[in-house]
Amino acid sequence: MTIQKPENNKPEQNKQENEKNIDKRIDQSINADAKTIITNPEPALAAAAQAEQDKIEGEQPKSNTVPSMANSKVKDASQFGKVAVICGGSSNERSVSLDSGAAVLQALQNQGVDATHFDPKEQDITELRQYDRVFNVLHGRGGEDGLLQGVLQWFNIPQTGSGILASALGMDKVRTKQLWQGCGLSTAPFSLLTADTDWQQVVNMLGLPLIIKPVHEGSSIGMTKVNNLDELPAAYATAVQCGDVVMAERWITGREFTIVIIDDEAYPVIRLEPADITNFYDFEAKYNRNDTSYYIPCGLSAADEKHLQALSLAAFRAVDAKGWGRIDAMQDEAGNFWLLEINTVPGMTSHSLVPMAAKARGMDFDSLCWHILAQTL
């Protein structure tokens, strides 16, 4: 008599049971997630950013110590090695960039740093291989849009500020706003424009006034405020001279603010008030005129300033920005905050806002430049 060996189905049965258990756990997880509904994402994300900050503060009591050479992780200028201060370039912001570069270069040299001016318009970019690190104040295209960041990453040279992704996103106003919208962060409504755009349809959608902007420019270059429908074609023509992509954005009537972020900390909020309060903070007001008013303290309540700082941190992190930068925002007449733009390579001139916020924090310009450069180590 032949005795058949019984089939061992146990491994197969165990496998099936494990698969059922896994499917059950996945279903439970999905059902649990489905019950979590964020009814208002913007405050939720801002609150999350603040909660994270509060957690850090809870673990490490916040120090009132102002960053300086004395308490920096870098104690000796020789630790930086040979530093290139990159500025100038070929963008429409060349003149501002040269001013920023001259100021940063002087501040670093004042402290014994072996720093040198480097202008990619006048020098071969491969010469950067001779340097140990880069302080980037190359504003606008080429220096703020991920191009320089990619070159430096390829050369394996440490640099100040954000990397390729955040720089490319931050220089593109439309994609930044789309990202913020996707994260539930409030940003002013907008529409892309072309030469064939139905101007009346734009007004119907966004209302008047409007602000017309080149999508890939900084320092308010090419921007025009439009109060009437018949002003739109001329405003578009002005903006398109700066690039082939132009946007219209709803004009937010209210107060304008800027929030400087360094080392993932939002510095004291600055309120900006152009001499002509019916207009905007344009290139002339930013760099050439002395009639713009800056307010620190900004005039917000403590709760509102804390909320705006948290919202700005959430916006900064969403773009994956690093090191230092600036967020511009508005508060409308109803008290709501609206994100406008991110600047990943802010100005460092005598009129610039980052040094202004740092001063309010108790940090002079030389210490500020040292602190930003120390982020590369």
Task: Enumerate the active-site residues.
Answer: 93, 219, 287, 326, 328, 341, 343, 347
What is the C-alpha to C-alpha distance for residues 205 and 341, in angstroms, rounded to an integer?
21
Neighbours of 192 (CB within 10 A): 12
Q: β-strand 133-136 against 82-86: which pairing, if any? A: parallel
The first and second tokens of residue 111, run together, are 């402290």
What is the C-alpha to C-alpha distance for residues 67 and 373, in angstroms, rounded to an integer?
12
339 with 315: CB under 8 angstroms?
yes
190 beta partners: 249
The first and second tokens of residue 90, run together, are 């070929």
The first and second tokens of residue 9, run together, are 């189905």
Which parts of 241-361 are beta strand (E)? 246-250, 254-262, 265-266, 270-273, 293-295, 324-332, 337-343
Which parts of 188-275 are beta strand (E)? 190-193, 210-214, 224-226, 246-250, 254-262, 265-266, 270-273
Helix (H) or strand (E) holding 117: strand 114-118
The first and second tokens of residue 30, run together, are 């999905």
